[in-house]
Amino acid sequence: MLYKSSMIPIHDDDAPRTEDVARRYQGLDTWPTLDILEALWSSQSRATAACVSALPALQRAVDGAVQRLANGAGRLVYAGAGSAGMIAALDATELPPTFNWPASRLVVLVAGGLDFQHGQDQSAEDDAAGGRARAVDSGLGPSDVVLGVSASGGSPYTVAIAEEARARGALTIAITSRPGSPLMRAAEHAIAVPTGAEVIAGSTRLAAGTAQKLLLNMFSTAVMVGLGAVYDNLMIDMRPDNAKLRQRQTAIVVSIAKVDPALAADALARHGDVKRAVLGLAGMSTDEIEAALASAGGNLRTALSRSSSARGPGRGEAQSEP
């Protein structure tokens, strides 16, 4: 299908691109279903490709966040309104089960709160005073990392949180589809991915939402890798809350420690988690395990490397239980 390329601004020359009306999609409601799907797919693909140019800025934000959070006290704070707030909240809620990120170190500030049955209070997006109050009430400070997510970059609620958080010394990161927006100016690290006009004008859960989800996926995953929640490409801190995950946890110990599943399961039962099980299989006592992890900042690879060096040649990593 051929699409016309011009736009119809719905406000003025400074209208956010995500709010523009694209002529190429006029008559959408009369199109065959396959043409609608092709248009949606094309828009999503462009949004994904647009994220590539943001990787250097994202890298700086990740490195800054790891540095802030490595002390074990700082919190990850997600802020947003509307669709952006929901996408931010989704990323936040996936961190505890995937990486065992503590609830005490996670804050989600969504305008109007989350009500999955009745939807969000859309008017709350305009409440700058409410956003500032949430930031103050949350006690944001220099140890915290605050991510503000807004497609237009103009959500008063989200901008106010970013401004207040930065004034209080927190590391602030903006994720938006609009370069030069108020949210970008408010944050120390500004990540803008211009995704253009939506197939359905202003419906930023589409292309803008795809870019936001992708950027948040990359950000939080890279941060958790940097904090030692991943060994090789295995999520060693995941919570084994069901049978499938318990099997996966055992398989992870098998993979790292190079032992059979029975021995891995026994080590998990005795030591409680992957890191401690692997270190136990490396020949450490309980006290040695705790000391090694404390010294390594919880990083399994570092703890294993130091253990191997201390024990000298002939004592391979994680071969068998003592």
Which residues have a catalytic role annotated? 94, 125
Contacts by 88-95, CB closer than 8 A, 24 or more apart: 88/147, 88/149, 88/212, 88/216, 89/114, 90/213, 91/213, 91/216, 91/217, 91/220, 94/220, 95/220, 95/224
- Rounded CA-CA distance 237/214 in Å is 22
Can you say how many angstroms the Cα of residue 154 is from the centroid of all Cα atoms in its chain? 21
Largest CA distance in the chain: 73
Length of the chain: 322
DSSP letter at 236? T
Pairwise CA distance, residues 314 & 119, whole Å: 61
Amino acid at 5: S
For tokens 């989704």, what's the residue?
A: 90
CB-based burial of residue 205 (10 Å sphere; 0-12 exposed, 13-18 middle, 19+ buried)?
Answer: middle
What are the DSSP E strand ranges found in 72-229? Answer: 76-80, 106-110, 145-150, 171-176, 189-192
21, containing H or E segment: strand 21-22
Closest residue by Cα to residue 27 from 16, 18, 38, 36: 36
| DSSP character string of 240-267 | --SHHHHHHHHHHHHHHHT--HHHHHHH
